[in-house]
């Protein structure tokens, strides 16, 4: 069976920000083998999971795009769980809880896929994706083969992993969790969900999660709050009322609207605290002249 493909697809439909122009072709593989064949034929493809940490240009992207949202197979063997790259974090958290396995409780509080969570080494409430990670099957874009990468090779750090080098695309990952009572696991998951509801916007308010990474020994949210951005309201975008490190798409926002606000936030924190915040949100796509100017400032550390 040939892989499903859609031409001229509006990529904003695949992101939690609800922002993004068209791509040439969107491919929707249903198996890891289909994904491997696509990447063998075109190693430049942009691979998207749940789109929860992405700002895609309103001008679209010139390359072909692959969505991994149909790759959702999960296998459980004792305390070990193997999950394909498109499996959602909240689903995996609930599944692990039913099996009395602890380690994925924090996944319940945000919408990332396993591919995205590993890419960013997503974390919350003292738990990191890397904590339970054992190994991953990846497609090597350069050698065009499938490889297994172990934890010691993944270069895990705060908001960092080997996957960010762009060479490897996650196919599936193996985790080893710890047995615990369902009562304790559910209690921790409920606490995580409660904390999110109190401080962070729901997906009913289109957003891409935290906008900036926390600088060493500090909090980007704290700095932005003190700089006066909590509740900051612009024509098409606003900063969340209870946490200043979230930007909301009010409905008609463009990628430029978001970047302009990010630049204001960045400049103010630099002016007041002499701290240069690093974006956590990943920008991809065709930049306008103004977007090029802003990205050179915001993403300068990644471009050196």
Q: Which residues contact 187 (CB under 8 A, 6 or more apart)?
A: none
CA distance 221 to 235: 22
CA distance 177 to 71: 22
pLDDT of residue 302: 55
| Residue range 220-303, CATH number | 3.90.78.10
Q: Where are the domains of the chain?
A: 4-67, 74-196, 220-303
pLDDT per residue of the chain (304 residues) written in tens, 0 to 9: 589 999 999 999 999 999 999 999 999 999 999 999 999 999 899 999 999 999 999 999 999 999 999 999 999 999 999 999 999 999 999 999 999 999 999 999 888 899 999 999 998 888 899 999 999 999 999 999 999 999 999 999 999 999 999 999 999 999 999 999 999 999 999 998 888 888 889 889 999 999 999 999 999 999 999 999 999 999 999 999 999 999 999 999 999 999 999 999 999 999 999 999 999 999 999 999 999 999 999 998 654 3
Token pair recorded at residue 104: 């994925």
> Hey, is 130 helix, strand or coil?
helix
Domain 74-196 of CATH type 3.20.20.140: no
Nearest to 291, CA basis, from 263, 267, 268: 263
Q: Which residues pair with 249 in a beta bridge?
A: 237
How far lies 253's CA from each of 56, 71, 292, in Å?
A: 12, 30, 18
CA distance 137 to 135: 7
| Residue range 4-67, CATH number | 3.30.43.10
> Hey, is 136 helix, strand or coil?
strand
pLDDT of residue 195: 81
pTM of the model: 0.94
């Amino acid at each position: 069976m040939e892989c499903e493909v859609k031409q001229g697809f509006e990529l904003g439909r695949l992101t939690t920000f609800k922002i993004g122009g068209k791509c040439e072709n969107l491919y929707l593989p249903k198996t890891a083998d289909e994904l491997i064949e696509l990447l063998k034929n075109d190693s430049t493809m942009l691979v998207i999971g749940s789109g929860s940490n992405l700002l895609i240009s309103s001008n679209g992207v010139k390359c072909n795009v692959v969505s991994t949202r149909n790759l959702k197979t999960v296998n459980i063997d004792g305390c070990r769980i193997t999950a394909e790259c498109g499996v959602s974090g909240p689903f995996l958290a609930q599944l692990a809880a039913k099996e009395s396995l602890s380690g994925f409780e924090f996944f319940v509080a945000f919408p990332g896929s396993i591919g995205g969570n590993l890419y960013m080494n997503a974390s919350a409430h003292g738990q990191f994706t890397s904590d339970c990670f054992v190994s991953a099957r990846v497609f090597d874009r350069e050698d065009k083969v499938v490889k297994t990468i172990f934890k010691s090779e993944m270069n895990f750090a705060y908001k960092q992993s080997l996957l960010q080098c762009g060479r490897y695309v996650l196919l599936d990952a193996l985790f080893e969790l710890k047995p615990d009572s369902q009562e304790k696991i559910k209690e921790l998951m409920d606490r995580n969900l409660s904390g999110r509801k109190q401080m962070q916007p729901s997906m009913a308010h289109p957003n891409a999660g935290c906008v900036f990474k926390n600088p060493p020994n500090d909090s980007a949210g704290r700095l932005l709050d003190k700089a006066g951005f909590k509740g900051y309201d612009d024509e098409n975008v606003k900063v969340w009322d209870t946490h200043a490190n979230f930007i909301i798409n009010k409905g008609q926002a463009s990628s430029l609207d978001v970047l302009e606000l990010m630049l204001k936030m960045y400049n103010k924190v630099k002016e007041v605290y002499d701290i240069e915040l690093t974006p956590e949100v990943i920008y991809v796509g065709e930049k306008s002249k103004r977007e090029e100017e802003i990205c050179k400032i915001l993403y300068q550390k990644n471009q050196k």
